[in-house]
Amino acid sequence: MKYILQVLSLLLVGALLGGCSAETGGSAVQMFAVNVGKGDALVLKAGDWVGLIDTGKPWVMGRIKTALSKLGVDRLDAVFLTHTDDDHCGGLEWLAQSDIPVDNWYASAMFIDVKEKKHPMVQAADVRDQEVGWLRRGDTLALGSSGATLRVLAPASKFKDKDDNNSLVMMLECDQGRMLLTGDMELPEEAELLSQGDDLRCAVLKVPNHGDDDTTSAEFANAAAAQIAVVSTDSQKKPGTPDPRVIKRLQAAGSTVVVTQDAGLGLLVTLKGGKAAATAVDIEATPVSGPYIASVDPDDDRITLGNSGSADVDLTGFYLYSDKGDELYAFPQGTVLSPGKKLTVGTHSTDGAYDLLWDDKKVVNKKKTDMIYLYDSYGRIVDSRDNGR
């Protein structure tokens, strides 16, 4: 079922929106909720300041880069990791190795199941010889010269059972209104947050944990009373999300629910003068034809591509993704695949001939089924092939 039937733009009556002046002057604040399947990747833009909250899994690289391009930005003032689930931190490796400038790296100060030196945000920052800023309740960040701030509401304490409940929960506050950003907060962290007595009213709510049934009580939905509630999920990858009961509770609180899976590239949410609006954004570029995965050799760890088209195809920005290993290979700048020709990618485990090196010891799983995907530069699947296991 699709929930983007009609996106409403609501104007809050009065001078205040959740404790934040709703003035009509100044630039709109934007949040691009990228369609990353079951995962999170939110691009925030306030004035000249741009931040990325979570990075989805590795395969969404092209989608995040396209979203940044849509917003006309090529750098990040900050990257935030709400918690260590792989559908939130999986893209950190490619981002750290990319040519996208990142000024600051931030993560939740509370985490479990990983030592600090192995924390995915620490490893990403290390690639750039940078440090991680650890955030917890009470911290506030100024977003450049925009006048907006991010106020950290949670975590206030460490939950030892599940890292979802150590998620960063932040309130973006500015003269245009407020956005409440919740990571994968589940009911235990939610209850602790509600007990703090904060004013949680907001124009935009990023619904916790993909709208699953372990989130968003009626009390929380009413406390937020958001105009627009954004759910980032893929109901095929995570059945039952968004949970119908969560949707009903949000709607009962006056929120219009929108879901990233209903938009090709994602949802662009704008906030100006206390009024929130959401627009579904598609990828407009025509899909390329011709490239395909000719073979996947798990024994020699090789992947061969072909071109069945009639013209050269520039593979710059294209990438291969191993589903089982959750690994990504980006084709080098200027890689061209000519009609009727083959191009083979090997690894450090490959004994046979290959044209390009996937800088890894082992990519294709030998024993278990592994699906290899070819993506274009926009993050769209061009072709896929399994390993024959």
Q: Which of 238, 261, 281 lies at the terminal end of a domain, its last residue?
A: 281
If one counts the domains in the chain, the total is 2
Based on the fold, state whether residues 311 and 377 are members of the same structural domain. yes
Q: Please check whether residue 2 lies inside any domain of the structure.
A: no
CB 111 within 8 A of CB 117: no
Based on the fold, state whether residues 217 and 352 are members of the same structural domain. no
SS3 219: helix
Q: Please check whether residue 5 lies inside any domain of the structure.
A: no
CB 83 within 8 A of CB 134: no
Q: Please check whether residue 286 lies inside any domain of the structure.
A: no
Q: Please check whether residue 81 lies inside any domain of the structure.
A: yes
Based on the fold, state whether residues 168 and 295 are members of the same structural domain. no
CATH number of domain containing 315: 2.60.40.1260
Question: By residue range, what is the domain housing residue 375?
Answer: 291-386
Contacts of 113 (CB under 8 A, 6+ apart): 84, 163
Q: Which of 262, 281, 300 lies at the terminal end of a domain, its last residue?
A: 281
Based on the fold, state whether residues 259 and 161 are members of the same structural domain. yes
Q: State the pLDDT at residue 25.
A: 53
Based on the fold, state whether residues 299 and 369 are members of the same structural domain. yes
Based on the fold, state whether residues 20 and 129 are members of the same structural domain. yes
Q: What pTM did the predictor assign? A: 0.92
**CA gyration radius for the chain?**
22
Q: Which of 261, 281, 301 lies at the terminal end of a domain, its last residue?
A: 281
Report the C-alpha gap between 90 and 85 in whole angstroms.
8
Q: Please check whether residue 1 lies inside any domain of the structure.
A: no
Q: State the pLDDT at residue 228.
A: 98
CB 177 within 8 A of CB 20: yes
Q: Please check whether residue 338 lies inside any domain of the structure.
A: yes
SS3 36: coil
Based on the fold, state whether residues 298 and 263 are members of the same structural domain. no
Based on the fold, state whether residues 266 and 361 are members of the same structural domain. no
Q: Per-residue pLDDT for the chain (389 aa), expressed as one digit of tens each?
A: 444 333 333 322 222 233 333 344 578 999 999 999 999 999 999 999 999 999 999 999 999 999 999 999 999 999 999 999 999 999 999 999 999 999 999 999 999 999 999 999 999 999 999 999 999 999 999 999 999 999 999 999 999 999 999 999 999 999 999 999 999 999 999 999 999 999 999 999 999 999 999 999 999 999 999 999 999 999 999 999 999 999 999 999 999 999 999 999 999 999 999 999 999 999 999 999 999 999 999 999 999 999 999 999 999 999 999 999 999 999 999 999 999 999 999 999 999 999 999 999 999 999 999 999 999 999 999 999 999 99
Based on the fold, state whether residues 303 and 246 are members of the same structural domain. no
Contacts of 324 (CB under 8 A, 6+ apart): 365, 368, 369, 370, 371
Based on the fold, state whether residues 236 and 259 are members of the same structural domain. yes
Q: State the pLDDT at residue 217.
A: 98
Based on the fold, state whether residues 156 and 35 are members of the same structural domain. yes
Based on the fold, state whether residues 319 and 362 are members of the same structural domain. yes
Question: Residue 70: how many CB atoms within 10 A of its CB?
Answer: 18
**C-alpha neighbours within 13 Å on the C-beta side of residue 362:** 8
Q: Please check whether residue 75 lies inside any domain of the structure.
A: yes
Q: Please check whether residue 204 lies inside any domain of the structure.
A: yes
CATH number of domain containing 132: 3.60.15.10
Is the CA virtual torsion 22, 186, 230, 317 positive or negative? Answer: positive
Task: Name the phi and psi angles at 385, rounded to 5.
Answer: -160, 140
